[in-house]
Amino acid sequence: MIETPYLLFLGDAPDQLAAKVAIGIKDWRPENAVGQYRMDGCKADVGLKDMDLAEARAAGAKTLVIGVANRGGVISQEWKKVLVMALEEGFDLASGLHNLLSNEPDLVAVAEAVGRKLHDVRVPEQEYPIANGVKRKGKRCLPVGTDCSIGKMYTALAMDAEMRRRGIKSTFRATGQTGILVTGDGVPLDAVVADFMAGAVEWLTPDNDEDHWDLIEGQGSLFHVSYSGVTLALVHGGQPDALILCHEPGRAHMRGLPGYQLPSLEALRDLAMETAKIANPDVKVAGISVNTQKLEEAEAIAYLTKLEAEMQLPATDPFRFGPGKLVDALMAL
């Protein structure tokens, strides 16, 4: 669990895109960020107040979150200067970078000396149990995709936000590093040891009120041969009551797999339902979430309308048209 609120470190980001994690935190958990810290030459701006370390501490910030990708996979000396100062000012550090804070001896030494924590959210911070498959109280919704990186996290976050806006009990459950940094908590599922994947998901989505929904962040795809095992662990550990089918039209092949075509939404529905029923025979497909970024608005609407008729399910692009339709469908189950 990462202590909130954060100061978002944007470093010397070369462009706005590099600050994806910080933007995610600002978009989805604005209450988790008191401000942003930008170094000379920073080209990103997430629209929060610029603060130095002392100002942010005074505003209550507890953790400096690296909200930006670094260049060349190295934590630069310029960054280090700020990170060391932050530790000395009383901040914990949190990062989803590939190169771990805990592999930097200087950061480790300073953190130990001043009694602060280094959170590398790519690495599990605890041991998880073997899944026991016992039915848990409360409701769970899991987005599943025809491919990786197709909008599953966005869909779950958007539905969670809309549900909380409507006063429905809901919690987004993060299973990847961006989601963990956004919410301050979760399971980095792709870094969990194989035997404990499903158990980690059970741990992440415990018993809850009968009318509470967990919106579980999806990972991979049942059809993506590199990561399908992670996805099936989510389906079986998550025991979803509802599935959201996620798709992006127009992809030439599965992400990173030139020899593999995307499955149809019918094929995704069938395999996801068949596997999900093993853990929860009452599971239903609630709706379809489509990333229509490559379509003009009129094309997108036509695509969604056709899909709804073909699949007999509500379909929307939650980024473009809002997640309301998916939440309606979830409530109508």
Residues in contact with its own copies by the rule CB under 8 A: 130-135, 189-195, 197-199, 222-223, 225-233, 236-237, 254, 256-257, 259-260, 263, 270-271, 274-275, 278-279
Query: Minimum Å distance from CB 129 to its own copies?
Result: 10
Nearer to its own copies, 136 or 169 (CB): 136
Tokens of 191: 């870094």
Nearer to its own copies, 56 or 192 (CB): 192
Query: Minimum Å distance from CB 198 to its own copies?
Result: 6
316 CB-near residues (< 8 Å, 6+ apart): 287, 288, 289, 290, 304, 322, 323, 324, 325, 326
The one-letter amino acid code at 83 reads L
Nearer to its own copies, 216 or 233 (CB): 233
Query: Minimum Å distance from CB 193 to its own copies?
Result: 6
Q: Are strands 213-216 and 242-247 parallel, antiparallel or unpaired?
A: unpaired
Under DSSP, is residue 46 helix (H, G, I), strand (E, B) or coil?
coil
Distance CA 223, CA 244 (A): 15
Query: Minimum Å distance from CB 98 to its own copies?
Result: 12
Nearer to its own copies, 108 or 257 (CB): 257
Chain centre to alpha carbon of residue 250: 23
Nearer to its own copies, 48 or 187 (CB): 187
Query: Minimum Å distance from CB 226 to its own copies?
Result: 4
How far is it between the farthest Cα atoms of the chain? Answer: 63
| Dihedral sign computed on CA atoms, order 42, 43, 46, 50 | positive
219 CB-near residues (< 8 Å, 6+ apart): 152, 175, 176, 189, 190, 227, 230, 231, 234
Query: Minimum Å distance from CB 153 to its own copies?
Result: 16
Nearer to its own copies, 239 or 316 (CB): 239
